[in-house]
Every structure is written in structure tokens, then in C-alpha cells.
Amino acid sequence: MTKSMTIDHTHYRRALQRTPFHDRFVALSTAEEWMAWNTYKVPRVVDKLSTEYFAVRSSCAVMDLTPMEKYRITGEDAREFLDRLVTRDISKLRSGRVTYVVWCDDEGKLIDDGTLFQLGENNYRLCSQHHQLDWLLISASGFDVNVEVETHDVAALAVQGPTSYSVLAAAGIDDLDQLKPFDIAKLHCGEIRVTVSRTGYTGDLGYELWTEPGDALQLWDAIFDVRGRYDIHAMGLSALEMVRIEAGFVMPGFDFNTAESTVRNGYDRSPYEAGLGWVVNLDKGHFTGRKALQAEASQPARRRLTKMVVEGNKPTAQALIYDRKNGKQVGEIKCASWSPILKANLALADLEYVDGRQPSKLWARIDYQRELKWLSTWAKCHVQSKPFYNPEHRSATPPARF
């Protein structure tokens, strides 16, 4: 549509900025539930939470990703710089691939997580949950590297759900059939250029689309033009919260305190403690926090962020965890959701270990209301090691056509 549309930089006139997709959300919004995300106004719920949730799980949901922090990292030492920044071995990352990464401070405590896109040789995009410019610049000392904030210069949409592949194909984005999970492709949607990555925060088949802010509405319209053939719903952050818990993804700053925002000693978390030990490679060479993590790895585990299914259906979001009914408190639930698709009460809990071991029995004490009367109950918790929801169609290449 209008190519002249750009990101609004006169943000000081408004409490919150508007993304290039904003007008389309306004047109669809019946709930009028808005929230702030990284200085932008985005929907918490567009129409109805259950519709949006089921769109992700059974058809196709479209979400605005523009507010996500995005950094372009270039320069001769870009790769070396990133390898020293993140805990994961990225030496095998190549152009056109994405990987999930986390990074720590010198004490091995998590600062944030994100996705690292290799767009070309020594050309990377790092997407993160929180603002990272300070830390990236601190980390840049001694490297020939250029760090640019491109949060406001790239419009981004998440198109997620089992039919997302078919929706995008119908919208005119060809050549997605061979795109594997974590692949990136530079494609076209009609006349506009769009970079597509097979990534997402939903645990389902899905894509993230990156384009010029000026092309944003044209991209949106191309997708929503096939709404007659496919069930497509604009989605807000509440549905995202449900599906990310089902997928077992963590959210720094919510499931655990990030190092830079922690004041009290011991309130921050290491990757191991956040259940992200699988992205730590102590043998890859030096990276920030390595020594501290080495030391931690050689000691018995002190705590773990743990996936649990809580019996029953009471909302568990703020429950404390005990080693038995009326026993000793051994943890607390950091985030929780009822999973409609699994018919289960899911939670991520921060559990304290004893002698390096998880407490063998776990009970949640749940305070809940019944007709405004507070009641309390005990529910048994069952630890899960795998993501709660991880369907086969998520990673099939080529994805099933609908």
C-alpha cells in the first residue's frame, strides 16, 4: 500500500509508539485490550483469547513482532565478538541460519536470551527480550565491530500455526517448502522484499517475516487477503504467553530476574539455574561468564527452573511449592497456564535442590477464589523434562499443505 509510511519517531508526543501494523490491529480489535511492549502499543487481546490461542494451535495466527529489540552486528570481528558474547558455540552457524542464544555477565548470570540471525558474512541480527545496547557496547571493547539498533527500522510479523506455511504460500511467498526450522530466506511477496525465517515463540510451525516499515501494510494485506480460504487471526500477547509455556520457552525478566536488573545478592540466575544448560558450551573457548559457569558446573546444582504439570485446574500462577503437604517450601511457580490443547495445568517453577538433587515430592499450595472467597488447596506436581507441547508438524519439511 503506501510505501511512504515510516516508523513514527515523534514518540515523545505520545505515551507509546505505534508500529507500522497498528492501524490494522485497530481495525480488527474488538477487545480493545492494549498494552505496552518496549515503548510500543500492542494488543494484549485483539478479539478473543481462546480464538487467538486456537488459531496458533490449529490454524494460523499473526502477531506484531516489531517492538522486539533488534540489533545489527557487523564488522571484521563480528563473529568473534558474538562468540565471546553468548554461551553457545556459534562456530558452526552459517549464513541463512538462526540459533537460540543466551548471554551472561562476568559472574555467569543471565542477562538476556534471544535469537541470532546470520544474514551474511560478518553480518548478524540479534533479537532480544530486553534492551541490550549498553551490554553490547560494553562487550564491544577490544573488537572491531559495529553495533546498531534496528528495532525501529524493521517491521516484523510472526505468522504461526499449522497452516502458516499454506497461508504464506497463498499470500504469494513462494519457495518456503524447503525452508527448514531455523533457516532464513530472502524472498518476495508480490513486489515487496521480505526476509523470512522459520522461527517463532509458539512451539508450532511458524515463520517470522522481516521487512521495511514502508512495506509493512502491503505485507499484512497480502496475508489477510487469503482470509477467505484460511482461518487467520490477529493475535495478542496473552495468547502468546499461553503457547510459549506449552512450548516450554522461558522469558527472561519474568521467569527469572536478569542480572542487570538484579539488586539483591543471589536473586539473579545462571543459564543452568534457568534450565538452559543445553545452550552453554564450556569447551568452545572463552566467553563472558565462562569461568563462573565452569565453577558452577563443578558444584552440585542449587536450583533449577523446572517444567511441571500441576494436578487439577486451579490457576497456579503465584503458588509456592513444598516438599510435602504443609512441608518445607522448596520453590515457587514463576509462570503458569492452563493448556486447552493438553487439558493440563502447566507451570515453570524455580525449585531449590537439596544436595544437588531435585526434591522427590512436590506439592503446590494454591490459593484461589470461589465467588470472591479465598480458599486454599494442595495439588501434586509432576516434573516434565521435555516441552509440554511439541507436535511433529512443527518441524516437518516440507510442511503439510492445507
Partner 1 sequence: MGSHQADARHRCASLVWNDRKSLDTPCHASRLAGFAAMKDRKTGSMRTDAIIIGAGHNGLVCAGYLVRAGMNVLCLESADSAGGMSAPRTISDNYHFPGLVHAAYPVSTALRRDLKLEQFGYQPGKAIDTIALDGNGDHLTIGAERVSGAGLAERDEQTYATFRKQYLAYARTLRPLFENKPPRLKDMAFADKVTLAKLGWNIRFGLGREAMNEFLRVAAINIYDVLNDEFEDDRLKGAIAVDAVMGSAMGPRTPGTVLTWLQRLQGELNGPMFVQSGGRSQLVHALTQSAEDAGATIRFDAHVNKILIDNGKAFGVELSTGEMLKARIIVSNADPRSTFMRLVGAPQFDAMFTKRVTQIRGAGVVAKLHIALNGKPEFTGLADPQLGGRLMVAPSMKYIERAFNISKYDECSEHPVLEITIPSVHNAALAPEGHHVMSVNVAFAPYDLEGGWEEQKTTFAYKVISQLGQYAPNLTSLVVDHEFLTPRDIEQQLHAVRGHWHHGELSIHQSFMMRPLHGAAQYDTPVERLFLCGAGSHPGGGLTGLPGRNAAKRILELGGAK
> Contact residues for partner 1 (CB under 8 A)?
80, 83-85, 105-106, 135, 138-139, 141-143, 283, 285-286, 288-291
For the chain, what's the residue count?
402
When the beta carbons of 244 and 290 are compared against partner 1, the nearer one is 290
Distance separating alpha carbons of residues 364 and 320, to the nearest angstrom? 6
Backbone angles phi, psi at 131, to 5 degrees: -65, 125
Task: Say how many Å lie between the first and final Cα of the chain, rounded.
Answer: 28
The residue (of 135 and 207) whose beta carbon lies closer to partner 1 is: 135
CB-based contacts of 12, cutoff 8 Å, min separation 6: none
In the complex, what is the shortest distance from the CB of residue 305 to partner 1, in angstroms, rounded to a whole number?
24
Task: Give 135 or 388: the residue with its C-beta nearer to partner 1.
Answer: 135
Q: Closer to partner 1 at the Cβ: 285 or 398? A: 285
**Residues contacting 193, CB < 8 A, separation 6+:** 186, 187, 211, 212, 215
Closest approach of Cβ 89 to partner 1, in Å? Answer: 14
DSSP state of 229: T
Which helix or strand (DSSP H or E) is residue 64 part of? strand 60-64
Compute the distance between CA of residue 95 and CA of residue 357 in angstroms, rounded to an integer. 41
Q: How many CB atoms lie within 10 A of CB 305?
A: 20
**Contacts of the segment 380-386: beta carbons below 8 A, 24+ positions apart:** 380/310, 380/311, 381/308, 381/309, 381/310, 381/311, 381/321, 381/347, 381/349, 382/308, 382/309, 382/310, 382/311, 383/306, 383/307, 383/308, 383/358, 384/248, 384/307, 384/308, 384/309, 385/307, 386/248, 386/307
In the bound complex, what is the minimum distance in angstroms from residue 84's beta carbon to partner 1?
5
Name which of 238 and 270 has its Cβ closer to partner 1.
270
Q: How far is the CB of 138 from partner 1 (least distance, A)?
A: 5
- Please count the other Cβ atoms lying within 10 Å of the Cβ belonging to residue 191: 9
Tell me the pairing of strands 373-384 and 303-310.
Answer: antiparallel
Q: How far is the CB of 20 from partner 1 (least distance, A)?
A: 34
Taking the least distance from each CB to partner 1, the nearer of 51 and 281 is: 281
SS3 86: strand
What does each C-alpha distance from 293 to 258, 272, 358 come to in angstroms? 16, 8, 20
Cβ nearer to partner 1, comparing 83 with 204:
83
Please name the residue that has the C-alpha cell 516434573: 383
Based on CB atoms, which residue is closest to partner 1, 28 or 282?
282
Closer to partner 1 at the Cβ: 84 or 394? 84
CA nearest neighbour of 23 among 1, 39, 38: 1
Q: Which is nearer to partner 1, 13 or 92 (CB)?
A: 92
Closest approach, Cβ 139 to partner 1, in A, equals 4
CB of 283 to partner 1, least distance (A): 8
Minimum CB–partner distance for residue 79 and partner 1 (Å): 11
Question: Measured from the CB of residue 111, what is the shortest distance to partner 1 in angstroms?
Answer: 10
Query: For residues 317 and 252, what is the distance between their CA atoms, to the nearest angstrom?
Result: 16
User: Which residue number, 86 or 362, has a Cβ lying nearer to partner 1?
Assistant: 86
Backbone angles phi, psi at 327, to 5 degrees: -95, -145
Task: Kindly state the smallest distance separating residue 144's Cβ from partner 1, in Å.
Answer: 10
**Angle (nearest 5°) at CA 52 between 49 and 57:** 125
Least distance from C-beta 106 to partner 1, angstroms? 4
